[in-house]
Chains A and B, each alone.
Chain A
Amino acid sequence: MVNAVSVVLPSTDQVWKWLDQVPDPEIPVVSVTELGIIREIRWEGDTLVVAVTPTYSGCPATSVIDLSIEAHLHGQGVEKLRLERRLSPPWTTDWVTPDAREKLRAYGIAPPIDGTAPDGRTAARAARMAGRSNLTVACPRCGSGHTERVSQFGSTPCKAAYRCKDCLEPFDYFKCH
């Protein structure tokens, strides 16, 4: 009979490394940690608590991400796990790691340009967005800055649709948020 066994719990550093291997379901070249949506990992007694923040509030990938995290950590031997949904502070593309930005580019998605998220003072900004923006999103395929926005929304909530006027390829821009 085994009782009062002192189980050695994996360190939170170890758990972070495990989560480095959980891909985002929509953009599998980046992991959930690189995306910046894992906000905290801690132990409460023998229960592992992972705080996850949604990228966009209606993103359908959210529950798939939760499932992937649970499945991966259970596979690593974590028995008691609780996921917390954390809303504050809200997710921002500033949390996407530099490595992940390069991976996005190599995958064909232009990475976010920091400081271009909507800040709100709207009429002026709407006018800028109506064709007078200086924002240059470089084509991830040929590197040209000669691009144009086709739509503010793309294949997922976090992306906008662009087109390169030099190589003529359409591409996604991971928009700053």
Chain B
Amino acid sequence: MSAIAEITAAPDPVLADDGLRRALFEWLCRMGDNCLILGHRLSEWCGHGPALEEDIALANTALDLIGHTQMWLALAAEIEGKGRSADDLAFLRDAMKFRNAKLVELPNGDMAVTLMREFLFDAWHFEMLTGLTESASPRIAEIAAKALKEVSYHLERSSDLVVRLGDGSDESHRRMQDALNRLWPYAGELFTADKVDEAAAAAGIAPELAALRAAWDKTVGEVLDEATLTLPEIRFDVHQGGKQGRHTEHLGYILAEMQFLQRAYPGAEW
């Protein structure tokens, strides 16, 4: 007896457009892979958090992101139409086929790096999902509406902690500023559009990435200001290529751990 509920497939003319299929698959993998890889990174804190509440909060956030991954990659697999599942995409693709931004695959570092990365991503994720609730594709819009409610918590929490730690002790301030300096050159990839993003925007499926920038700048600026942190005077779009499949060396190590079971015991279930 299978307990997997069928997804209600509302008619969606946008997703039925053959000309868009290839770009849409890529675009959906980007959404799913950002959630999957960041979710995996956060799950690495499980059992290692500095306080029980922090440990639970990070694990909960990871769980939400894995839930989003399931929705995005299931739709990607369906659009692709080759009989693959969300699990196949997560566990059986190699690094070059992953479409996440480099920002989310960087190692957790200390708690400051983890939280600052979370904040920079959450602020983007929040604006992206808000835009997607207006998507011309009803199915994408409903996934976005569902995910947005959870991501609102993520952004609240990470904003709160960036302020507390930035405007905290000398050491926490220094660590948060170091984290911001380290991560800043990776943030711009989230806003740099290529042909896939342009095709999705032209079809009304997704907002233009550049258009998300003003709201992101405002949120990031206000929170960092309250956190007494300073925006680094370096370009924020230095490190690119993750969403085209050119990753840092760190992604391979994540996949080695995440995919081990399905690689060693193909088709294993429990």
A residues in contact (CB < 8 Å) with B? 51-52, 54, 56-60, 63-64, 66-67, 70, 82-90, 92, 117-120, 122-123, 125-127, 129-130, 150-155, 157, 161, 177
Q: Is the CB of B163 within 8 A of A127?
A: yes
Q: Is the CB of A57 within 8 A of B57?
A: no
Q: Does B222 contact A (CB under 8 A)?
A: yes
User: What is the chain B residue whose CB lies nearest that of A69?
Assistant: B3
Q: Is the CB of B156 within 8 A of A129?
A: yes
Q: Is the CB of A88 within 8 A of B156?
A: no
B57 CB, nearest partner CB in chain A, Å: 4
**A83: chain B residues within 8 A (beta carbon):** 3, 5-6
**A89: chain B residues within 8 A (beta carbon):** 145
Assembly CA distance A116 to B64 (angstroms) = 20
Q: Is the CB of A66 within 8 A of B226?
A: no
Q: Is the CB of A151 within 8 A of B223?
A: no
Assembly CA distance A83 to B138 (angstroms) = 21
Assembly CA distance A64 to B5 (angstroms) = 11
A115 CB, nearest partner CB in chain B, Å: 14
Residues 151-192 of B, flagged 1 when their CB comes within 8 A of A and 0 if not, give: 011011101100110000000000000000000000000000
Q: Does B71 contact A (CB under 8 A)?
A: yes
B125 CB, nearest partner CB in chain A, Å: 11
Known contacts: A88-B145, A125-B156, A151-B56. The answer to whether A67 contacts B68 by CB under 8 A is no
**B4: chain A residues within 8 A (beta carbon):** 63, 66
B180 CB, nearest partner CB in chain A, Å: 16
Assembly CA distance A142 to B40 (angstroms) = 40
A130 CB, nearest partner CB in chain B, Å: 5
